[in-house]
Amino acid sequence: MSRFLPSPALQSAQRSLRLAAHRAGAVWLGLLALGMGLGVLVTSNGLPWWLAPILSGAIYAGSVEFLLVGMVVASAPLSAIALTTLLVNARHVFYGLSFPLQQVRGWGRKLYSIYGLTDEAYVLIANLPQQAQTSRQIMGIQLGLHLSWVSGSVLGALAGQAWLSDLAGLDFVLTALFIVLAIDAYRTRPDKTIALAALGAGGAAAVLAGDAMLLVAMAAFVVFCLARYAVAVAQKKERNAP
């Protein structure tokens, strides 16, 4: 009878999967829904449905994929796509400083964990108790997020191709996503100076930069943040000077 019982290793893996689902299940469902929005956006712009799982599976960068749909439709140059991706996802560099990658066993798993380090993955894993930051927990959470995102994009693309291609308002999905992200970021850290600088950079770029509005706005905002940081460091040195 014992030969029909799962091995201790399998039992441990199942337990880790249940814990990962308990801790991240709600976020998995959220990514499934958001991925459906990406899939619908892909087909509503006249692109083939199979491009949705390629974008969501290979690039796996959240908001950048929504941007790429518009850039692909507009035949944007690769240089603009690369720079946009770099600017939008530059924040991930800072995630790596405190992400518990040392807990992930095996180089293959480590490489995937780096690849799968998204905003949601960082928040979920960084907030785990230290004893729960195991290799299986980290990989389970990240794989669940990735699979939810890809599955949602496929469902959305097929549904969009069949029924939703003419649904009004789909072109507002990206704008709505960034509005929600901006509000959430401001609630987390209510910095009026940063918020006004972002609005100012966006408004000025919209008036002056035309089709290059996005790149110019992000570049101007980055320059402002660097200048602000330099001023803050200089002021701190002056205060600490004898």
pLDDT of residue 97: 76
Q: Are 118 and 10 in contact (CB under 8 A)?
A: no
User: Which amino acid is present at 160?
Assistant: G
Query: pTM, whole model, 2 decimals?
Result: 0.67
pLDDT of residue 6: 57
Q: What is the DSSP string of 20-36?
A: HHHHHHHHHHHHHHHHH
pLDDT of residue 111: 93
pLDDT of residue 13: 59
Domain segments of the chain: what residues? 2-170, 191-242
Distances 189 to 71, 125, 192 between C-alpha atoms, Å? 31, 20, 9
Q: Are 19 and 132 in contact (CB under 8 A)?
A: yes
Assigned token pair, 5: 């019982």
User: Which amino acid is present at 122?
Assistant: Y
The pLDDT tens digits along the chain (242 residues) read 445 445 655 555 566 667 767 677 777 888 888 888 888 888 888 888 899 999 888 888 867 888 888 888 888 888 888 887 887 777 777 777 778 888 888 899 999 989 988 888 887 887 777 777 788 888 888 998 999 999 999 998 888 766 765 666 655 665 666 677 677 667 767 888 888 998 998 899 888 887 677 778 878 888 898 899 888 888 888 787 66
Q: Which residues touch 6 (CB under 8 Å, ≥6 apart)?
A: 14
pLDDT of residue 2: 47
Q: Are 39 and 159 in contact (CB under 8 A)?
A: yes
